[in-house]
Amino acid sequence: MSNEIHINYSSGSTVYTVIRNSCGQVWYLSGQVFEDWGTYGHDAMDYSLPLTDKAGSRYVGDFDADIPAGRYTIQAFLQAGANPADGDTLIEAREIIWRESGELTADKVLVNKAVQNKSTGAIDYYDDDGQTILLTITPSEDESSITRLPS
């Protein structure tokens, strides 16, 4: 996939992003691992994912396909100098649910195929390729309630 990251900011600037996990650690591109900011002397230059100015106040970039499936925060920074720096200004942040093959969005779940296993009750929701499972929900019920557990 490509161009999964979209940031709105005035064209003509230099904008980059960093990816954080739920523990607040940042994705270190060269090491292909999440780590605390500043580990081994790493800084914004080591964590930055570049974005391309597409004009009309839109920047796009690729979410690193090596990041495992999960919930992440994308932080966008305005680069002040020649290179990304720890003091650059945060201009936007948003959460993403990454499924290794793209972002999980409500329209993907609602529009595509869902299949229920009759013996387990598990419901698999598929990506638009019809093969990749985006989400599995296993309902369980007792006398007074029904519970749906995503996995």
**Helix, coil or strand: residue 59:** strand
Query: Which uninterrupted H or E stretch holds 107?
Result: helix 106-111
Ordered per-residue pLDDT tens for the chain, 151 residues: 578 899 999 999 999 999 999 999 999 999 999 999 999 999 999 999 999 999 999 999 999 889 998 889 999 999 999 999 999 999 999 998 887 777 766 665 566 788 888 888 888 888 777 777 777 888 777 766 666 665 5
**Helix, coil or strand: residue 21:** coil
User: Tokens standing for 44?
Assistant: 């914004």
Interatomic CA distance for residues 7 and 90, integer angstroms: 12
Q: Which residues pair with 95 in a beta bridge?
A: 73
pLDDT given at position 104: 65
What is the widest separation between alpha-carbon atoms in the chain? 64
- Going along the chain from its start, the domains and CATH numbers come out as 5-98 (2.60.40), 106-150 (no CATH)
pLDDT given at position 149: 60
